[in-house]
Structure 1
């Protein structure tokens, strides 16, 4: 039986590896509109303007792109230790570290596919310096005057060798609720969307067609409006950012989207899901069939081949 919803409060931040750290930082600041909030060696910490924590994204220099750590904030110290006990009761292992600015101890473990998860509670609230202090006291930071100006890190889409095993880790160990999924004619679950909150999804698992483990499909940043997505597309072509697909609307979850690649090779989604919440405590799991998915996205755009083949780190 899945634990009660609420021990994980929200997605905290994600870490991306990049073979071109300077270019990836420039993409995040100039195109996305993030703010640098610290640097340690080959790691740079960045934040969205509406994040209350020290950082929303961590960029670390590595030979190959990919996902490092996904950090999830617990709703209390007690909730954190409940989830740690659940990890270990399920046969998982982890270790305690204190290696990120603005945060206390993190319990680092992995899902069955090997994606690193860090659970934590202690977190300092961000105080804006004078140059980025907002006019409204209930906003952590003034809106940026450059780039898209994304509001928050919205979700992470993992590639996985076994979607169901990893989704059940999120459900049974961490306490997520599944909201939508794709089931193939063979009966295999090819993708599942899950939430820790009243958002329609926070994490996604998609089948890795290469059979590899531990890879990333994309991370996503939320915008205020659909119009911001259209503006982002214009900014992308003006600044040489590669657009993979969109702007368009997904059928699953109804998210308005634009997919681009950052200079290190990781896929980034700009999304506008802000109007869609899952408020029903007994929300039924929506299942999409193979035939339904073959119809493409909400307004008929066909899913392009690279959406099924590109992931990071790349495989031969």
Structure 2
């Protein structure tokens, strides 16, 4: 199947992936995990929600934890350039016959909530309440020392359709995994707006579901330090995959599961992609270096488990990808 063409004049300007909103069943336990173990900074909290950010971020939050009866993902957030871009986004989605409404959200400026053709619940903001940058306040560096929100990855039942739609919003494909042969289908794709490997990625599977969200860390040593911390503080079972180095993105990584099973990636050492002539890198679906450059395949849970989106039914994938799975 064809890789989507870069569109350099999108209908509105998306700057980057901004935040994610999660439903959790024990707000105190989840807060402790993200604050004390991972090292995010709590900016505000009440009995129903906790708002967290990383040390490089000046916006009020990049992760919202909401008290709920069951775990799910409520929203995926993206930043746009201006208030005018919010209006252009609303017009664009409505012209496509997709739901788009302006709503009030705590600590956020004017917020546009929309659904993509698969039903993914998105929201766009041009501004948030601003807070002091913590980058050089090293007393706040804990856990993996997360610097900034980086990306989300989605289980998509039709990867090609998702890639084509988001290419129409100006997302540019950087890398993709494809079946071999003349009629090979794309089973995963990584797309960016901010100039690194991705802001959003789509992985073939039952969905749509949230596969994972990710924070960027300063060095690989910070990730190794987190492994030591988790292994000695009762969180050994929360480490799902890694540490290791991806073939795709070249990033050093670790995947962990929070108390409700939401998957979080800690990630560093990817590369820049902002040059207009950057062509997508193709990977064979059967290349053992794709998942992990050193050849270690991902566990079965990686391909099967994810967070459902609140009130969104999922469906089976259009095809079964022939991927390498750890025994």
**TM-score computed with the length of structure 2 as normaliser:** 0.85
Structure 2: how far apart are the matches of 1:142 and 1:168?
42
Q: Is contact 1:18–1:265 with CA below 8 Å preserved after alignment?
A: no
Number of residue-to-residue matches in the alignment: 300
* Residue-by-residue CA offset, 1:119-162 (whole Å, 9 max, x unaligned): 1113232137xxxxx5xxxx485552432221111111111111
Partner of 1:199: 196
**Which stretch of the first structure deviates more once superposed, 225-234 or 35-44?**
35-44
Report if aligned partners of 1:35, 1:49 keep a CA contact under 8 Å in 2: yes
Residue of structure 2 aligned with 1:23, choices 24, 29, 38: 29
User: Aligned partners of 2:187 and 2:219: how far apart in 1?
Assistant: 30
What is residue 100 of structure 1 aligned with on the other side?
A: 106
Q: How does 1:5-16 map to 2 (within 5 A)?
A: 7-16=13-22
Mean Cα displacement is larger for which, 285-294 or 43-52? 285-294
Tell me the TM-score normalized by structure 1.
0.88
Counterpart for residue 262 of structure 2: 266
Please give the secondary structure, in 2, of the residue aligned with 1:292. coil
- Structure 2 equivalent of residue 311 of structure 1: 306
Quote the offset at 1:70 in angstroms. Answer: 1.2
Q: CA deviation at 1:111?
A: 1.9
Which one of the candidate residues 20, 43, 46 is aligned to 2:49?
A: 43
Alignment of 1:246-265 (within 5 A): 246-265=242-261
Distance 1:63 1:34 in 2: 24
- CA displacement at 1:179 relative to structure 2: 0.8
- How far 1:294 sits from its partner (Å)? 7.5
Quote the residue 2:142 is aligned against.
146
The aligned counterpart of 1:82 is: 88
- C-alpha separation in 2, matches of 1:3 and 1:169: 14
**Partner of residue 121 from structure 1, selected from 113, 116, 126:** 126
1:234 aligns with 2:211: no
When residues 77 and 140 of structure 1 are mapped into structure 2, their CA distance, relative to the original with a 3 A threshold, is farther
Preserved CA contact (<8 Å) 2:77 2:122: yes
For structure 1, the 5+ residue unaligned runs are 129-133
RMSD over aligned Cα atoms: 2.2
**1:217 maps to which of 211, 215, 220:** 211
Instruction: Provide, for residues 178-198 of structure 1, a one-character-per-residue CA deviation record: whole Å limited to 9, x for no partner.
Output: 111112246322111000121
Alpha-carbon spacing, 1:202–1:140, altered in 2? closer, same or farther (3 Å)? farther
Q: CA 1:96–1:293 in structure 2 vs 1: closer, same or farther (change >3 Å)?
A: farther
> What residue is the counterpart of 2:62 in the other structure?
56
Task: List alignment gaps of at least 5 residues for structure 2.
Answer: 315-327
- Give the Å deviation of 1:35: 1.7
Separation of aligned partners in 1, 2:8 and 2:92? 9
